[in-house]
């Protein structure tokens, strides 16, 4: 054995596993004579070999096949299994080649025939075993690396395939585009279907080519300043067939074939935007309605006072004016005041209609009949240059609405159409039954499902821009020159249709025309025809009989005074009260009969409805007439009066008061008797007169 010096390569650590002392000596001798630079450790059993290898390890083991604790190949199998990197050389007996071959099979690298072996053969066997082990390890490592590489490649391949599938079969249109040139680099199937272009056609285009011209700058800037993941929209794009859609684009940065790119997912928000716009519009109209209703209500009170006093003065001056020129001028001036106030009343009426605060005289009507009834007036309105076509429903369903209001709707629409066709054109009115399904209802806020009657008025006029359509229903919105339009026409229509539980909308195209559509819910009730109201001021029956007494409750002083004067002039005894409590006190103190309660609806402390209920506990037959600036929820649900309730809609004229009061009083008792039937405390428990109750007029609008 060679001496080991510091400069030599590290000595080979050889473990000799051999229990036969002679063999140990022979082996040690051969190693000593060899050129191996080594440290030799000797153990006599497999157990000791394991212990030695566990503690100190070895570079090679020489293993005898006949050990006290392991017979045959057991030692080789155990050591090779336990120390996979340890080269093993088996020591066999002479001519024992079969055993040697089995040892190689069991994990040994080489074998050495025991005996006075030459130092050369032991050195060769040791070095060969080491090299063979190393080669084997290198091969195994290379194989493992190769297998790992293959696995990694397979994983990448699978990932790519999955992502490709996610992209290709994604139901949302998706594309990858170059952020410098904005050209498409890849598109998925949904994108080709959505835009209507083939894959090849899209790949030859840029993202901006799909955008509406006005939105190109927006998109270019968005791409230039985009965050890693970004969302843009609403953005208008044009499909191959020319359809304009609104989309939202969500995109993220990526590198595609070495190009800086973004992967974009397209979401069609056309319907969502439309729905939101419609919702915003109806909310805006709702709040405008509240505002308009409030203003019109206060304004009506003032107008009532102006008209009332002016009318009384005019009556007083009427006779003098016929003979005296001076009074004639004053009388004419008063007529001017009354006329102007009438126009103002009309305006507030329209505002109240818009606010759905007008009391509607709802009836079950046939739309066909309403259209036919007003047809002549409409024809006169449009003039000769416009051709009017009317198409009525073959089998109309009745609807619940105020026929007068529906006429107003038609008239306003026809006037609008006429104004939109200064050089003539065609105006079509059509009435059609239609059943609204869930889909339509879901896309039109405010429309209910089920049977409806559709009223459409279409013209071939100048049409409207989207901005005009958006605002057309707003009160005072007009595009007409000053003095030519108040902008209340469509607002009124909107109020009337929605008050009737319906839905109104406009479709229009500039230079093509406009179609207004109203949908009114159908009813199962049979249609009635409207009963005309007859009124003749000169009729003596509007005078009081036997000084009938009217309890008048109105908090607005001047209005109370005015109403009191009107009634007093016609022979009524009036008990005026400025609020509900005062009215109750007056009634308690008044020992004669009270024939009627005429009360405002909204009053501080106690409203008119509560006052009526209170008084009717004592005077069950007491007729009640309400006066109101606009529909009060406490009287009317959905602004429709219950049968038998009379309501004066402010501003109230002298004629209306007298007519309404007379009718209510006459309905109270058999005509034309006197005295009997007065509502007196004594009669409190009397049953209401069935016959006269039946004769009472239905809901009336004064
Ligand atoms: N048939 C139509 N064709 C084109 N534009 C219309 C049509 N109907 C309404 N418009 C537009 O809607 C606006 C509002 O209409 P609306 O009927 O409410 O008021 P107006 O006609 O201007 O005034 P008013 O009806 O009070 O006299 C009009 O000024 C017009 O711009
Ligand atoms: Mg109009």
Among all bound ligands, the one having the nearest atom to the CA of 415 is: 2
DSSP state of 209: G
DSSP labels, 582-629: HHHHHHHH--S---EEEEESS-SSS-HHHHHHHHHHH-TT--EEEEES
Residue 380 CA to ligand 2 centre (angstroms): 17
417 lines ligand 1 (CB under 6 A): yes
Tell me the C-alpha to C-alpha distance, in Å, between residue 247 and each of 194, 230, 264, 368: 11, 14, 12, 43
Please tell me the CATH superfamily of domain 540-701, with its number. Answer: Response regulator (3.40.50.2300)
Average pLDDT (610-627) is 87
464 lines ligand 1 (CB under 6 A): yes
| Residue 695 confidence (pLDDT) above 50 | no
- Smallest CA-to-CA distance from 247 within 189, 165, 175 is with 175
Are 459 and 427 in contact by the 8 Å Cβ rule? The answer is yes
Average pLDDT (295-303) is 80
> How do 88-92 and 60-64 pair as beta strands?
parallel
Burial of 74 (0-12, 13-18, 19+ CB in 10 A): middle
Average pLDDT (428-448) is 85
Band (273; pLDDT cuts 50, 70, 90)? confident
Query: What confidence tens digit (pLDDT) does each residue in 215-249 have?
Result: 899 899 989 888 888 999 889 999 999 989 999 99
492 lines ligand 1 (CB under 6 A): no
Residue 277 CA to ligand 1 centre (angstroms): 20
Residue 443 CA to ligand 1 centre (angstroms): 25
Residue 381 CA to ligand 1 centre (angstroms): 15
487 lines ligand 1 (CB under 6 A): yes
Q: Which atom of ligand 1 is nearest to the CA of 417?
A: 1
488 lines ligand 1 (CB under 6 A): yes
Average pLDDT (400-424) is 90
DSSP state of 630: S
462 lines ligand 1 (CB under 6 A): yes
Question: For the domain with range 12-140, which CATH number is right: 3.40.50.2300, 3.30.1280.10, 2.60.120.200, 1.20.1250.20?
Answer: 3.40.50.2300
| Neighbouring residues of 667: CB distance < 8 A, sequence distance ≥ 6 | 623, 692, 693, 695, 696, 697
Band (3; pLDDT cuts 50, 70, 90)? very low
In the chain, what percentage of residues exceed pLDDT 90?
A: 43
Pocket test for ligand 1, best of 386, 410, 471, 478 (most atoms within 8 A of CB): 478
Question: Tokens standing for 672?
Answer: 């034309």
DSSP state of 395: S
Three-class SS state of 13? strand
- Classify domain 174-268 at the CATH class level: alpha beta
472 lines ligand 1 (CB under 6 A): yes
Say whether pTM exceeds 0.75.
no
Asked if the domains at 174-268 and 540-701 fall in one CATH topology, the answer is no
The pLDDT value given to residue 356: 65
Residue 347 CA to ligand 1 centre (angstroms): 16
Among all bound ligands, the one having the nearest atom to the CA of 513 is: 1
| Residue 680 confidence (pLDDT) above 90 | no
Helix/strand number for the chain, H first, E second: 20, 25
Q: How far from each other are the two terminal CA atoms of the chain, in whole angstroms?
A: 135
- Of 87-101, 152-166, 504-518, the least confident: 87-101
Q: Ligand 1: which residue has its CA nearest to atom 13?
A: 478
| Residue 688 confidence (pLDDT) above 80 | no
Q: Which atom of ligand 1 is nearest to the CA of 488?
A: 26
Q: Which atom of ligand 1 is nearest to the CA of 473?
A: 18
Q: Which atom of ligand 1 is nearest to the CA of 486?
A: 26
Are 425 and 391 in contact by the 8 Å Cβ rule? The answer is no
Query: What confidence tens digit (pLDDT) does each residue in 300-356 have?
Result: 878 888 888 888 888 888 888 888 888 888 888 888 888 888 878 877 877 777 776
Three-class SS state of 359? coil
For the chain, the domains span 12-140, 174-268, 276-349, 363-521, 540-701
Alpha helices in 421-569 (DSSP H): 438-443, 466-471, 489-499, 557-569
458 lines ligand 1 (CB under 6 A): no
Alpha carbon distance 1, 618 (integer Å): 139
Average pLDDT (41-68) is 94
489 lines ligand 1 (CB under 6 A): yes
468 lines ligand 1 (CB under 6 A): yes
Query: What confidence tens digit (pLDDT) does each residue in 388-409 have?
Result: 999 999 999 999 988 878 988 9
Residue 479 CA to ligand 2 centre (angstroms): 10
| Residue 447 confidence (pLDDT) above 50 | yes
Question: For the domain with range 363-521, which CATH number is right: 3.30.565.10, 1.10.3720.10, 3.40.47.10, 3.40.720.10?
Answer: 3.30.565.10
461 lines ligand 1 (CB under 6 A): yes
The pLDDT value given to residue 83: 94
- Each as own residue / partner, the long-range contacts of residues 557-565 (CB below 8 Å, 24 or more positions apart, any chain) are 558/305, 559/301, 559/304, 559/305, 559/308, 559/600, 562/304, 562/305, 562/308, 562/309, 562/312, 563/308, 563/598, 563/627, 563/652, 563/657, 565/312
């Amino acid at each position: 054995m060679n001496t080991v010096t510091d400069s030599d390569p590290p000595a080979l650590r050889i473990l000799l596993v051999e229990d036969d002392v002679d063999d140990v000596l022979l082996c040690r001798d051969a190693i000593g004579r060899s050129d191996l630079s080594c440290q030799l450790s000797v153990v006599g059993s497999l157990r000791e070999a394991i212990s030695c290898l566990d503690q100190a390890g070895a570079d090679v083991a020489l293993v005898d096949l006949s050990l006290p604790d392991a017979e045959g190949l057991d030692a080789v199998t155990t050591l090779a299994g336990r120390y996979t990197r340890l080269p093993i050389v088996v020591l066999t007996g002479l001519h024992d080649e079969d055993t040697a071959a089995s040892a190689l099979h069991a994990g040994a690298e080489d074998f050495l025939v025991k005996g006075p072996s030459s130092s050369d053969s032991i050195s060769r066997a040791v070095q060969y075993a080491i090299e063979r082990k190393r080669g084997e390890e290198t091969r195994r490592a290379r194989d493992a690396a190769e297998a790992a590489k293959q696995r990694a490649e397979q994983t990448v391949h699978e990932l790519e395939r999955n992502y490709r599938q996610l992209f290709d079969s994604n139901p949302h249109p998706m594309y990858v585009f170059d952020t410098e040139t904005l050209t498409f680099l890849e598109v998925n199937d949904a994108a080709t279907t959505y835009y209507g272009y083939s894959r090849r056609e899209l790949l030859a285009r840029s993202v901006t080519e799909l955008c509406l011209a006005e939105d190109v700058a927006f998109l270019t800037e968005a791409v230039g300043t985009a965050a890693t993941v970004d969302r843009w929209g609403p953005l208008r794009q044009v499909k191959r067939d020319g359809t304009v859609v609104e989309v939202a684009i969500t995109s993220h940065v990526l590198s595609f074939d070495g190009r800086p790119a973004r992967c974009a997912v397209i979401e069609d928000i056309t319907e969502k935007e439309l729905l939101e716009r419609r919702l915003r519009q109806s909310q805006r109209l709702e709040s405008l309605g509240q505002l308009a209703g409030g203003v019109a209500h206060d304004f009506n009170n003032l107008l009532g006072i102006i008209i009332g006093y002016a009318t009384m003065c005019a009556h007083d001056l009427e006779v003098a004016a016929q003979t005296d020129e001076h009074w004639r001028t004053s009388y004419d001036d008063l007529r001017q005041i009354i006329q102007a106030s009438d126009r103002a009343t009309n305006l507030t009426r329209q505002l109240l209609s818009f606010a759905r605060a007008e009391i509607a005289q709802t009836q079950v009507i046939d739309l066909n009949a309403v259209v036919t009834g007003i047809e002549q007036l409409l024809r006169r309105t449009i003039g000769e240059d416009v051709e009017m076509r009317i198409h009525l429903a073959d089998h109309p369903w009745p609807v619940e609405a105020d026929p007068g209001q529906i006429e107003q709707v038609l008239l306003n629409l026809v006037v609008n159409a006429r104004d939109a066709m200064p050089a003539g054109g065609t105006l079509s009115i059509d009435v059609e039954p239609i059943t609204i399904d869930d889909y339509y209802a879901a896309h039109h806020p405010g429309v209910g499902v089920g049977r409806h009657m559709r009223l459409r008025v279409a013209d071939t006029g100048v049409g409207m821009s989207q901005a005009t359509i958006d605002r057309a229903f707003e009160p005072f919105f007009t595009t007409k020159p000053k003095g030519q339009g108040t902008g209340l026409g469509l607002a009124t229509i909107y109020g009337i249709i929605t008050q009737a539980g319906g839905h109104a909308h406009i479709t229009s195209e500039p230079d093509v025309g406009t179609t207004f559509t109203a949908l009114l819910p159908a009813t199962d009730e049979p249609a009635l025809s409207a009963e005309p109201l007859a009124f003749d001021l000169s009729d003596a029956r509007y005078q009081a009989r036997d000084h009938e007494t009217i309890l008048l409750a109105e908090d607005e002083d001047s209005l109370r005074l005015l109403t009191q004067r009107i009634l007093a002039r016609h022979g009524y005894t009036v008990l005026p009260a400025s609020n509900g409590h005062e009215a109750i006190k007056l009634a308690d103190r008044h020992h004669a009969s009270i024939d009627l309660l005429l009360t405002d609806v909204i009053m501080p402390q106690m409203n008119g409805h509560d006052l009526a209920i209170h008084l009717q506990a004592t005077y069950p037959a007491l007729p009640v007439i309400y006066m109101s600036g606009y529909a009060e929820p406490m009287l009317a649900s959905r602004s429709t009066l219950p049968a038998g309730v009379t309501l004066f809609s402010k501003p109230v004229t002298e004629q209306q008061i007298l007519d309404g009061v007379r009718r209510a009083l006459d309905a109270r008792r058999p005509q034309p008797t006197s005295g009997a039937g007065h509502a007196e405390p004594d009669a409190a428990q009397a049953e209401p007169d069935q016959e006269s109750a039946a004769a009472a007029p239905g809901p009336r609008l004064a």
